[in-house]
Chains A and B, each alone.
Chain A
Amino acid sequence: MNELDPKQVIFATSDEGELGLTLADGTRHTPIQCSCLFPLSDPEHYISIQQGDDKHHPEIGIIKDLSALLPEQRQLIDQDLKHQHFLPEILSIEDIRGLHGIDEWCVTTDRGPITFFVSGRKSSIVLTNDNLLLVTDIEKCRYRITDYTTLPLRARQMLERALP
Chain B
Amino acid sequence: MEKDRLPKIISTALRAAYPNEPICLAISSNIARHGQYGREWLVATTAHLLVFPDDAATPTHDLALTELESISAENTVGAGSVLVKTATATYRIISYTEARSDDFHKIVDGLRALKEGAQVESHHTLSDRQECETCGRSIPKHMSTCPHCAQRRQILLRILSFSRPYAGQLALIFVITVLTTVVALLPPYMSKLFIDSVFKVDPATGTFPHADWHLWCVAAIFAAYALQSFFSGWQERVAGIVGFKTVYDVRAAIYKRIQELSLTFFDKRHTGAIMTRVNQDTAELQRLLVDFIPMTLEALFSLVGVGVVLFAVSWRLTLFVILPIIGTIVFLRLAVPVIRSFFHRFFHRRSRLSALVSDSLSGIRVIKSFGQEALEMEKFDRTSRVYRDAGIDLVRRWSIYHPLMHFMIMCGTVLVWLVGGRLIFRGPDMPGGMTIGDVVAYSGYLMMFYRPVFMLTRLSQMITNALTAADRVFDIIDTIPDIQDAPDAVAMPRVEGHITLDNITFGYAKHQPVIKELSIDIPANEMIGLVGKSGAGKSTLINLMSRLYDVDSGAIRVDGVDVRNIRQADLRQNIGVVLQETFLFSGTIMENISYAKPTATKDQVIAAALSAHAHEFIIQKPDGYDTRVGERGSRLSGGEKQRIAIARAILRDPRILILDEATSSVDVQTEEKIQQALVNLTKGRTTIAIAHRLATLRNCARLVVIDDGEVSEMGTHKELMEKEGAFYELVKSQEKLSTIVAIDGGSRSEET
Question: Which A residues fall within an 8 A CB radius of B?
Answer: 14-18, 31, 39, 79, 82-88, 99-102, 104, 109, 111-114, 116-117, 120-121, 123, 127, 129, 137-142, 157-158, 160-161, 163-164
The answer to whether the Cβ of B230 comes within 8 Å of any Cβ in the partner chain is: no
Cβ–Cβ contact B91 & A112, under 8 A: no
Chain B min CB distance to A47 (Å): 14
Cβ–Cβ contact B37 & A139, under 8 A: no
Cβ–Cβ contact A141 & B338, under 8 A: no
Cβ–Cβ contact A83 & B78, under 8 A: no
Cβ–Cβ contact A102 & B147, under 8 A: yes
Query: Inside 8 A of B143's CB, which chain A residues have their CB?
Result: 102, 117, 138
Cβ–Cβ contact B90 & A84, under 8 A: no
The digit string for B231-253, where 1 denotes a CB below 8 A from any CB of A, is: 00000000000000000000000
Chain A min CB distance to B90 (Å): 6
The answer to whether the Cβ of B140 comes within 8 Å of any Cβ in the partner chain is: yes
The answer to whether the Cβ of B177 comes within 8 Å of any Cβ in the partner chain is: no
Query: Inside 8 A of B88's CB, which chain A residues have their CB?
Result: 16
Chain A min CB distance to B462 (Å): 14
The answer to whether the Cβ of B270 comes within 8 Å of any Cβ in the partner chain is: yes
Cβ–Cβ contact B150 & A100, under 8 A: yes
Q: Output the nearest chain A residue to B708 by Cβ-Cβ distance.
A: A55
Query: Inside 8 A of B148's CB, which chain A residues have their CB?
Result: 99, 104
Cβ–Cβ contact B147 & A100, under 8 A: yes
Cβ–Cβ contact B78 & A160, under 8 A: no
The answer to whether the Cβ of B572 comes within 8 Å of any Cβ in the partner chain is: no
Query: What would 20 more interface pairs be, CB under 8 Å, given A86-B31, A102-B143, A161-B340?
Result: A17-B92, A18-B89, A86-B77, A86-B98, A87-B78, A99-B148, A100-B468, A111-B35, A111-B37, A117-B143, A121-B273, A127-B352, A129-B382, A138-B142, A139-B99, A139-B140, A157-B338, A158-B341, A160-B341, A160-B345
Cβ–Cβ contact A163 & B77, under 8 A: no
Cβ–Cβ contact A86 & B471, under 8 A: no
Rounded to whole angstroms, the CA-CA distance of A39 and B78 in the bound complex is 12
Given A16-B88, A138-B140, CB of A82 within 8 Å of CB of B341 = no
Rounded to whole angstroms, the CA-CA distance of A65 and B92 in the bound complex is 27
Chain A min CB distance to B144 (Å): 12
Rounded to whole angstroms, the CA-CA distance of A163 and B350 in the bound complex is 12
Query: Can you list 9 pairs linking A and B with CB atoms under 8 Å apart?
Result: A17-B91, A85-B77, A86-B76, A100-B467, A101-B468, A104-B147, A117-B140, A137-B99, A164-B348
Rounded to whole angstroms, the CA-CA distance of A141 and B37 in the bound complex is 13
| Among B95, B147, B273, contact of A83 (Cβ-Cβ < 8 Å) | B95
Chain B CB within 10 Å, residue with most, of A17, A112, A137: A112
Q: Output the nearest chain A residue to B88 by Cβ-Cβ distance.
A: A16
Query: Inside 8 A of B382's CB, which chain A residues have their CB?
Result: 129
Given A86-B76, A87-B77, A117-B140, CB of A139 within 8 Å of CB of B90 = no
The answer to whether the Cβ of B81 comes within 8 Å of any Cβ in the partner chain is: yes
5 closest pairs, A vs B, by CB? A16-B89, A86-B79, A139-B99, A86-B78, A101-B468
Which of B456-479 touch A at CB < 8 Å?
467-468, 471-472
Query: Inside 8 A of A141's CB, which chain B residues have their CB?
Result: 78, 97-99
Cβ–Cβ contact B77 & A84, under 8 A: yes
The answer to whether the Cβ of B38 comes within 8 Å of any Cβ in the partner chain is: yes
Given A17-B92, A123-B270, A160-B344, CB of A82 within 8 Å of CB of B99 = no
Given A99-B148, A163-B348, CB of A86 within 8 Å of CB of B97 = yes
Q: Output the nearest chain B residue to A159 by Cβ-Cβ distance.
A: B341
Rounded to whole angstroms, the CA-CA distance of A161 and B35 in the bound complex is 31
Rounded to whole angstroms, the CA-CA distance of A39 and B152 in the bound complex is 41
Rounded to whole angstroms, the CA-CA distance of A86 and B80 in the bound complex is 9
Q: Output the nearest chain B residue to A156 by Cβ-Cβ distance.
A: B341
Rounded to whole angstroms, the CA-CA distance of A31 and B348 in the bound complex is 46
Query: Inside 8 A of A15's CB, which chain B residues have their CB?
Result: 89
Q: Output the nearest chain A residue to B355 by Cβ-Cβ distance.
A: A122
Rounded to whole angstroms, the CA-CA distance of A69 and B92 in the bound complex is 25
Chain B min CB distance to A140 (Å): 5
Query: Inside 8 A of B79's CB, which chain A residues have their CB?
Result: 83, 86
Given A83-B81, A138-B140, CB of A16 within 8 Å of CB of B37 = no
Query: Inside 8 A of A31's CB, which chain B residues have their CB?
Result: 90
Rounded to whole angstroms, the CA-CA distance of A15 and B81 in the bound complex is 19
Query: Inside 8 A of A87's CB, which chain B residues have their CB?
Result: 77-78
Chain B min CB distance to A35 (Å): 8
Cβ–Cβ contact A139 & B468, under 8 A: no
Rounded to whole angstroms, the CA-CA distance of A129 and B355 in the bound complex is 13
Rounded to whole angstroms, the CA-CA distance of A140 and B468 in the bound complex is 21
Q: Output the nearest chain B residue to A161 by Cβ-Cβ distance.
A: B341
Chain B min CB distance to A68 (Å): 24
Rounded to whole angstroms, the CA-CA distance of A3 and B37 in the bound complex is 34
Rounded to whole angstroms, the CA-CA distance of A19 and B216 in the bound complex is 98
Query: Inside 8 A of A112's CB, which chain B residues have their CB?
Result: 36-38
The answer to whether the Cβ of B718 comes within 8 Å of any Cβ in the partner chain is: no
The answer to whether the Cβ of B337 comes within 8 Å of any Cβ in the partner chain is: yes
Q: Output the nearest chain A residue to B352 by Cβ-Cβ distance.
A: A127
Chain B CB within 10 Å, residue with most, of A16, A100, A113: A100
The answer to whether the Cβ of B141 comes within 8 Å of any Cβ in the partner chain is: yes
Which of B131-178 touch A at CB < 8 Å?
140-143, 147-148, 150, 152
Query: Inside 8 A of A161's CB, which chain B residues have their CB?
Result: 337, 340-341, 344
Chain A min CB distance to B70 (Å): 12
Query: Inside 8 A of A127's CB, which chain B residues have their CB?
Result: 348, 352
Given A85-B77, A139-B142, A141-B98, CB of A16 within 8 Å of CB of B90 = yes
Given A83-B81, A85-B76, A104-B147, CB of A113 within 8 Å of CB of B37 = yes
Q: Output the nearest chain A residue to B35 by Cβ-Cβ distance.
A: A82
Rounded to whole angstroms, the CA-CA distance of A164 and B272 in the bound complex is 15
Cβ–Cβ contact B147 & A99, under 8 A: yes
Q: Output the nearest chain B residue to A82 by Cβ-Cβ distance.
A: B35
Cβ–Cβ contact A114 & B92, under 8 A: no
Chain B min CB distance to A55 (Å): 10
Cβ–Cβ contact A140 & B344, under 8 A: no
Chain B min CB distance to A49 (Å): 15
Chain B CB within 10 Å, residue with most, of A83, A101, A141, A142: A101
Which of B74-127 touch A at CB < 8 Å?
76-79, 81, 88-92, 95, 97-99
Rounded to whole angstroms, the CA-CA distance of A18 and B273 in the bound complex is 44
Chain B min CB distance to A114 (Å): 5
Query: Inside 8 A of B99's CB, which chain A residues have their CB?
Result: 137, 139-141
Rounded to whole angstroms, the CA-CA distance of A121 and B37 in the bound complex is 26
